[in-house]
Amino acid sequence: VRTIFEAIEARLPSRLELFSRLAKQYSDVTLHNMTVGQVLGGMRGLPCVLWEVSGTEKAGIRYHGKSLKELLEILPRWRGSEQISPEAMIWYLYTGTVPTRTELEVFAADLARRAEPPVEVEEFCDSLSPDIASATQLMMCLSVWGNHSKFSAALVQGAPRAELWRHALEDALDSHSCTSVISARIYANKYRDGRDRTTPLNPQGDIAENFAIRMGRAGDHDFTELIRMYWSLHMDHGANVSAHTMRLSSSAWTDPYLTLASGLIAGTGILHAGAISQALRYNQAMAAALGPEPSAQAVEAYICRTLEKGLVVPGYGHALLRDVDPRLEPITRFINSRPVPASASGEQGHMLRLIGRNSTIVPEILRRRVPRMKSTAPNVDSLSGCLMYAHGLEIDFILLVMGCSRGMGFMTQYVWDRALGLAIERPLSITMDQIMAKM
């Protein structure tokens, strides 16, 4: 049985060899011609961010060369679960290998042992006003957490460069379980008068089960499954805004905790992860205005009113994907295989049904009405927030659940960035006048 350290060590020599071959033999080879349009357009589609754990294609992400569909088949499940295990996904992203069942158990037990945030962070968390948004509270806690970074301590002690990834991995592993424990504490403080924030965790449980325990949802199988699914599917999506932010700040060797905080900040933008709550609110308003089963004409009129105001219809289209996002398929299966939770209000059930119907009606309307949209397919945001809301999570907290998984995914990349000795990011700034001077 390999430990995660051994599994990464086994992969490291061949990756270092490839990195050095690319640097020595191919440094001057042109990979892509950059256009003015790409500079003006947010570098969209420029293949210029070196990523170890995945590569983006128009049809979706390939994680170490494999599609999500393939991963859904080969990655092991946790006992009693039908979803990909987040721990299995984390292991796979770190190592490019599928963990055996025993490796998964040993790895999960290691993470469960680490689920003890520093007391300073817990006390700071408990001192925060419930008026502060959940994701902001997590950013603040992570900022205090930086004081306890093993990576930063190793830097101060002059650790050799080739060893930095090990210290980064220590922080990353601690963060995988502790971030969810602190998130549940934020939830307990904000929404449950502190209940369950110290309820004993299950040392034999996985991160999702322990999260559910501290959320006051112990034994809630569907909720735990939802979290497993959501975290596994959303861990990595290449150089999206939050991950790219984390890459940029950590390229200067910012410690893992502050790096995670920077990703959360970027994630609040409504054009990125903030779109999850945006889509949820939009669907809520539509369900309230049109009722549970509106006609296609009523939906079209509603969509047109949004477009006429110059607004976007949240939940459709994607910066890079041109077809249906592969992450939607398992989410839809999850919804279809379970009744709307008994705890959900009628409004939540209506909304899920409405979104299901709209996923076929709206793309067609957008294709006709907004011809410049390169893709009108539903994106993950169209369902994610509504699904978590139907399972009893407050809108404010949903963004934080997203932040937890994005952070878990980027930490695997953080460790590889240090292992490969990646350079600090420093592109050139260029003005419009400088561009014109080149024309």
Residues that bind ligand MLT (CB under 6 A): 237, 240, 318-319
CA 83 to chain centre: 16
Interior/surface letters 197-216, b for 16+ CB within 10 angstroms, e for the rest: beeebeeebbbbbbbbbbbb
Closest CA to 134 of 335, 273, 259: 273
C-beta separation of 12 from 19 below 8 A: no
> Rg (Cα) of the chain, in Å, rounded?
22
Burial of 86 (0-12, 13-18, 19+ CB in 10 A): buried
- To ligand MLT, the closest distance from the beta carbon of 402 in angstroms equals 9
**Catalytic (active-site) positions:** 272, 318, 381
User: Is 184 in a helix, a strand, or coil?
Assistant: helix
> Token pair of 225, please?
């499954």
Looking at the Cβ atoms of 139 and 321, the one nearer to ligand MLT is 321
Looking at the Cβ atoms of 210 and 240, the one nearer to ligand MLT is 240
C-beta separation of 340 from 390 below 8 A: yes
Alpha carbons 292 and 127: distance in angstroms, whole number: 42
Helices (H), 215-345: 221-234, 241-250, 256-267, 275-290, 296-308, 328-336
Please report how many Cα atoms fall inside a 13 Å half-sphere around the Cα of residue 192, on the Cβ side.
19
